[in-house]
Amino acid sequence: MTSLRAFTCDDLFRFNNINLDPLTETVSFPCRGHRGRPRGAPPLTLCSLTEDRIMGKAEGSVAREEWHGHVTALSVAPEFRRLGLAAKLMELLEEISEKKGGFFVDLFVRVSNQVAVNMYKQLGYSVYRTVLEYYSASNGEPDEDAYDMRKALSRDTEKKSIIPLPHPVRPEDIE
């Protein structure tokens, strides 16, 4: 059974079966906290503790159009994929982002991960920009580009947050 609640540091010990999966991006510990959250802004961190997980946070300035929900990690254990769990978790993060007054929800995904890219497109996300060499490679291979994918929320009535950039950016250019 899946249960949703706020993420705690002890939860890091419960994700080994998912973290070892090759389709899962593992982020470093500082990214899992609420660093960068504006003072007084509530965290948007969610977590499921069995076969799947989503971690997200609020980013940007609350008073500006950059305020949004960000998917830090979304993973479903291999034996529980294709059951709609990822879509349900994304829907929940979108609902919370909406309630917190976000303009959009965004995420980063490897350009080569077409299964994930297609899933996010089916959920209403579009490619906002390409981030060059966002993911570090191993074994001497070149770094990999990422798509910054976004879905506008109701507060963005003109859908400005999802107008694609005409050129790629570098990681250091990301706000």
Task: Give per-residue pLDDT as tens, 101-134.
Answer: 999 999 999 999 999 999 999 999 999 999 999 9
User: What pLDDT score was predicted for residue 131?
Assistant: 96
Q: DSSP readout, 70-127?
A: EEEEEEE-GGGTTSSHHHHHHHHHHHHHHHTT-SEEEEEEETT-HHHHHHHHHTT-EE
Share of the chain above pLDDT 70, in %: 70
pTM, rounded to two decimals: 0.73
pLDDT score, position 34: 36
User: Tell me, what's the pLDDT at 49?
Assistant: 40
pLDDT at residue number 81 = 84
- Position 6 pLDDT exceeds 80: no
Question: In terms of pLDDT, which residue wins out, 52 or 45?
Answer: 52
Comparing 164 with 29, the larger pLDDT belongs to 164
Short-list 57, 68, 15, CA closest to 35: 57
pLDDT confidence bin for 140, thresholds 50/70/90: confident
Q: What structural domains and CATH numbers belong to the chain?
A: 4-156 (3.40.630.30)
pLDDT, tens digit (0-9, with 9 covering 90-100), for 9-49: 666 665 555 554 555 554 443 333 333 334 444 444 444 44
Question: What percentage of the chain has pLDDT greater than the value 90?
Answer: 48
Count Cβ neighbours within 10 Å for each residue of 98-126 and write b for 16 or more, e otherwise. Answer: eebebbbbbbbbbbebeebbebbeeeebe
C-alpha to C-alpha distance for 92 and 163, rounded to whole angstroms: 24
Angle between helices 114-122 and 85-99 (to 10 degrees): 50
